[in-house]
Amino acid sequence: MEAQDNMLLNKRLEMITTALPQATPGSLATPIEKPILKVLKSPIPPGELSVVERSKQLAAWTAVDDYVKPHFRVIGIGSGSTVPYVVERIVNQGAEANKDRVFIPTGFQSKELIVASGLNLGDVDQYPTIDVTLDGADEVDVQLNCIKGGGACHLREKVIAEAALTFILVADYRKNVERLGTNFKAGVPIEVVPFAYAKVLGNLHNVIGSPKAHLRMAVAKAGPVVTDNGNFVIDAPFDEETMKDPYTVMAKIKMLTGVVEVGLFCHMAAAAYFGNQDGSVTVKTNNGEVKQVQPQ
Ligand SMILES: O=C[C@H](O)[C@H](O)[C@H](O)COP(=O)(O)O
Reply yes or no on whether the pLDDT at 42 is more than 90.
no
188 C-beta closer than 6 A to ligand 1: no
- As a whole number, the mean pLDDT across the chain is 89
% pLDDT > 90, the chain: 83
pLDDT band, very low/low/confident/very high, at 293 (cuts 50, 70, 90): very high
Q: Beta partners for 104?
A: 76
Q: Which atom of ligand 1 is nearest to the CA of 5?
A: 13
pLDDT band, very low/low/confident/very high, at 31 (cuts 50, 70, 90): very low
What predicted TM-score, i.e. pTM, was given to this entire model?
0.86
Lowest mean pLDDT among 13-22, 126-135, 223-232: 13-22
Helix intervals (H) in the chain: 3-18, 34-41, 51-67, 83-91, 95-98, 108-116, 154-162, 197-203, 246-254
Separation between Cα atoms, residue 114 and residue 120, nearest integer Å = 7
Separation between Cα atoms, residue 219 and residue 116, nearest integer Å = 26
CA distances from 115 to 75, 93, 104, 227, 273 (A): 14, 17, 11, 20, 25
Q: Which atom of ligand 1 is nearest to the CA of 135?
A: 6
pLDDT at residue number 4: 53
Mean pLDDT of the 278-289 span? 97
Q: Which atom of ligand 1 is nearest to the CA of 263?
A: 4
> Considering only CA atoms, which of 27, 31, 22 is closest in space to residue 117?
31
| Cα(148) to centroid(ligand 1), Å | 6
| Cα(26) to centroid(ligand 1), Å | 31
Separation between Cα atoms, residue 252 and residue 233, nearest integer Å = 17
Reply yes or no on whether the pLDDT at 170 is more than 50.
yes
pLDDT at residue number 296: 76
pLDDT band, very low/low/confident/very high, at 25 (cuts 50, 70, 90): very low
| Cα(167) to centroid(ligand 1), Å | 15
Say if CB 104 and CB 76 are below 8 A apart.
Answer: yes
Query: How far apart are the two ends of the chain, measured CA to CA in Å?
Result: 28
| β-sheet with 139-140: strand ranges across | 139-140, 146-147, 264-265
Per residue in 84-112, pLDDT tens?
Answer: 999 999 999 999 999 999 999 999 999 99
Reply yes or no on whether the pLDDT at 156 is more than 60.
yes
Separation between Cα atoms, residue 120 and residue 118, nearest integer Å = 7
153 C-beta closer than 6 A to ligand 1: yes
Per residue in 220-267, pLDDT tens?
Answer: 999 999 999 999 999 999 999 999 999 999 999 999 999 999 999 999
% pLDDT > 70, the chain: 84
